[in-house]
Chain A
Amino acid sequence: SQTIHQWPATLVQPVGSPLSLECTVEGTSNPNLYWYRQAAGRGLQLLFYSVGIGQISSEVPQNLSASRPQDRQFILSSKKLLLSDSGFYLCAADAAGNTEAFFGQGTRLTVV
């Protein structure tokens, strides 16, 4: 079965510091990968979408970037964090022939 590992679970970072959140997927190959941000009252906002290695689509202008160096690895990054980057970040994955998107446990990021 498909498993998504996402870490860290919580993170407190100062403004201006860099960010790297990692997500890895097990149990499937060639998944579509997603990064979402969940803010109170705003639901799940799609940030990045990837259909393959090196193929990243950005959904909204922002201070973040994403990379997919391997088929089942998705990384969310920032060079300099802003206060507004605080939130709950969720990685998700699905696979060809399977319409269900599975979520990781999420990372609670607080920028101070």
Chain B
Amino acid sequence: GENVEQHPSTLSVQEGDSAVIKCTYSDSASNYFPWYKQELGKRPQLIIDIRSNVGEKKDQRIAVTLNKTAKHFSLHITETQPEDSAVYFCAASRMWGGSTLGRLYFGRGTQLTVWP
């Protein structure tokens, strides 16, 4: 199956700084790359995703970039705030039928801490 590697495992930044989390994947057929945020004691929730036909996607302070050739994608958070502190997971999947999720493989997660 797919192998998703995620770095770094922990990341500490000062409030207002930017944070970048990087992931690589092994299956060139993967075409859907979501990012999930898991706050302490809560379930993971989708924050942003990107499909393989797009190189970059932005939603307010969060952006994701994808390099299909190199098989890596990154999450960028700008103007970080203490409430951004959480574990972030990248994932990869082969979406089929244009809109249906296949097996969803996750990275090991990044513990982001934003200091006020």
Contact = CB atoms under 8 A, between A and B. Distances in A.
**A and B found bound together:** yes
Contact of A41 (B32, B34, B45, B108): B108
- Name which of B9, B93, B104, B109 has the most chain A CB atoms within 10 A of its CB: B104
Interface band, chain B: 20 to 34
A8 B76 CA distance: 36
- Name which of B99, B101, B102, B105 has the most chain A CB atoms within 10 A of its CB: B101
A99 B106 contact: no
B1 A59 contact: yes
Contact of B99 (A43, A99, A103): A99
Interface of B: 1, 6, 9, 32, 34, 43-46, 49, 89, 91, 93, 95, 97, 99-109
Interface of A: 32, 34, 36, 41-46, 49, 57, 59, 90, 92, 94, 96-101, 103-106
